[in-house]
Amino acid sequence: MDFRLSPEEEAFRQEVRSWLEQHLPRDWEDQVPEGEAWDFTRQFARKLAEKGWVVPHWPREYGGLGLSLWQQLVFREEMAYHRAPLGYIAIGADWAGPTIIVYGTEEQKREHLPRIARAEVMWCQGFSEPNAGSDLANLQTRAVRDGDEYVVNGQKIWTSGAHRADWMILLARTDPDAPKHKGISYFLVDMKTPGITVQPLIDMMDNHGFNQVFFENVRVPARNLLGEENRGWYMATTTLNFERSSIGGAAASRRLLEDLVEYVREASLPEGRRADDPRVRYHLGEAAVELEIGRLLSYRVVSLQARGQVPSYESSVAKLYNTEMGLRLARRGLAILGLYGQLRPKSRWARLRGRFERQYLWMTGMVVGGGTSEIQRNLIAIRGLGLPRD
Ligand SMILES: Cc1cc2nc3c(=O)[nH]c(=O)nc-3n(C[C@H](O)[C@H](O)[C@H](O)COP(=O)(O)OP(=O)(O)OC[C@H]3O[C@@H](n4cnc5c(N)ncnc54)[C@H](O)[C@@H]3O)c2cc1C
C-alpha cells in the first residue's frame, strides 16, 4: 500500500497552507462563531468563496471546482489543521448543498446552490426532535398539504446555528399512517417564514450554538419539497452519510497534539513532572499512534469512494474512532496539564489558552452529534459484521 499523495496533490496542499497562513491571524483560535468571531467567520467565508473554496468539492456546473477526492481530503486536512473558521457554512456546503445536488429539481439547484457557493446564505439542519434523536424516524413534526403549500407544526431541538441560518433542511411527517420510515418528507424552508420561532439553548461550554425551533402553522411552498413526498428518510440518510465522513478530525487532533508536545518541552508541569516523565511520554506516544490510525481510517473511506464504491460501515468506523480519539486526546492533555488544564480560556491561569478544556467539552458533544458512538457501533455490527438487528 502506498500512502503518498501525488506531486500535484502535495503542491495543492502547499497552496492551501500558504493561503491560510496569509488569511488567518497568527493567534487565531477555534471558537464558537459569535460576536467578533462571527463577523470574522463571515468575512473569511467570502474570501474563501472568491477562491471557490467554500464548495471546492462540488462539480463546476454548480459553482464548485470539481476537485478530486484526494484533493478534497488535502483541502480539509489543511483547513482543520489551521483551525479555519467554517462556522455554520459547512451545513450548507457539505450537507444541504450535496443533498440538493443529488435530489433537487433544476429550479431548486438554480435557486440555492450558487448562493451557498458564494457564502451568501447559512443553512441549519432541522432533523432531531425531543423524542427523535438516535431513533430519528420517530419524528413527529407534521406537514399537511394544503393546495400549493404544506402547513408545518411541531418542534425541532439541538438545531446548530438556527439563530444565524437563512434556510433549513427540515424533516417532517407527511403520512402519519405509513410505517415510520415511509411517511417522512424532506423540505427546504426559508427561516424568515412567519410562524417559525428560534429559542437559544446554552451548551455546557456556555456558548449559544444550539437552538430549539418551533413551527406554528408555517406555510412552506410545495415547490420546496425535495424529491418525492414520503421519500424523505432515504434522502436524510444521504445527508447523514455526508455528515459522517469525518475527514479532518485527525488533522485537528494532530495540531492539538503538536501544541501539547511543544508545551511539554518548554513549560514546567504540575508535581514537578518533566517531559521525560514516563507518564507524560506514554500519553504522548499513545496519542501519536491513535491519531495516525484515525487518519488512515478516514483515508480508507476516501479510497473506497475514489474507486467508485459507496462507503457504509467504514464511515461509521471513521466517525466513531476519530471522535472518541479526540476525546481521549483531551483526557490525555488534561492529565498532563493537571488542574490548570481544566481552566477556561479567559482565566489567567489557563494553560495552552484553555484548548484542552475546550477540546474536552467540544468532543463530548462530537461523540453524540451526527449519531452517537452506540449507534455507530450498532451500524458496524449490522452492516459490517452481518450481526442480527436485535
Ligand atoms: C454538538 C451537536 C450538534 C448537533 N447539531 C444538530 C443539528 O444541527 N441538527 C439536528 O437535527 N440535530 C443536531 N444534534 C442532535 C444529534 O443528532 C442528537 O443529539 C443525536 O442524534 C442523539 O440523539 P439524542 O440526543 O436524542 O439522544 P438519544 O437518542 O435519546 O440517546 C440517549 C442515549 O441512548 C443511547 N441509545 C439510543 N438508542 C440506542 C440504541 N438503539 N442502541 C444503543 N444505544 C442507544 C445513545 O447512544 C445515547 O447514549 C446535535 C447534537 C450535538 C451533540
Residue 37 belongs to domain with CATH number:
1.10.540.10
Ligand 1, atom 51, lies closest to the CA of 369
Residue 365 lies in a domain: yes
360 domain residue, yes or no: yes
Query: Are 370 and 248 contained in the same domain?
Result: yes
- Do 318 and 378 fall within a single domain? yes
| Distance from the alpha carbon of residue 89 to the mean position of ligand 1, in angstroms | 22
CA distance 144 to 148: 11
Dist. CA 236–CA 213, nearest whole Å: 19
| 282 CA → ligand 1 middle, Å | 33
Active-site residue flag, 111: no
Residues 221 and 248 grouped into a single domain: no
Question: Do 285 and 354 belong together in one domain?
Answer: yes
Q: What is the pLDDT of residue 31?
A: 64
Residues 20-34: what's their mean pLDDT? 80
Q: Which atom of ligand 1 lies nearest, measured to the CA of 160?
A: 8
Residue 384's CB is within 10 A of a number of other CB atoms, namely 14
Domain-located, residue 117:
no
Last residue of a domain, one of 175, 204, 231: 231
CATH number at 291 reads 1.20.140.10
CB neighbours of residue 177 within 10 Å: 6
| pLDDT tens readout for residues 329-385 | 999 999 999 999 999 998 999 999 999 999 999 999 999 998 999 999 999 999 999
CA–centroid distance, residue 136 to ligand 1 (Å):
9
Domain coverage including residue 207: 123-231
The reported pLDDT for the residue numbered 245 is 62
For the chain, how many structural domains are there in total?
3
My answer on whether 162 and 203 are in the same domain is yes
Evaluate whether residue 110 is within a structural domain. no
Domain assignment of residue 41, yes or no: yes
Ligand 1 atom with the shortest distance to the CA of 134 = 29
Q: What is the rounded CA–CA span in Å between residue 169 and residue 172?
A: 10
Which protein residues are within 6 Å of ligand 1, measured from CB?
Answer: 124-128, 133-134, 158-160, 365, 368-369, 371-372, 374-375, 378
250 and 201 housed in the same domain: no
The answer to whether residues 278 and 378 belong to one domain is yes
Q: How do 149-157 and 123-126 pair as beta strands? A: unpaired
242 Cβ contact partners less than 8 Å away, ≥ 6 residues apart: 94, 95, 98, 99
Per-residue pLDDT at 267? 79
Give 250-288 pLDDT, tens digit per residue.
999 999 999 999 999 887 777 777 778 899 999 999 999
Residues 248 and 379 in one domain: yes
- The set of cell numbers assigned to 122 is 447559512
Question: How close is the Cα of 158 to the center of ligand 1, in Å?
Answer: 9
Catalytic member of 78, 129, 243, 290: 243
Give pLDDT tens digits for 31-65: 666 777 788 888 999 999 999 999 998 999 999 99
Give pTM, 2 decimals.
Answer: 0.94
Q: Check residue 270 and give its pLDDT.
A: 72
Structural domain includes residue 112:
no
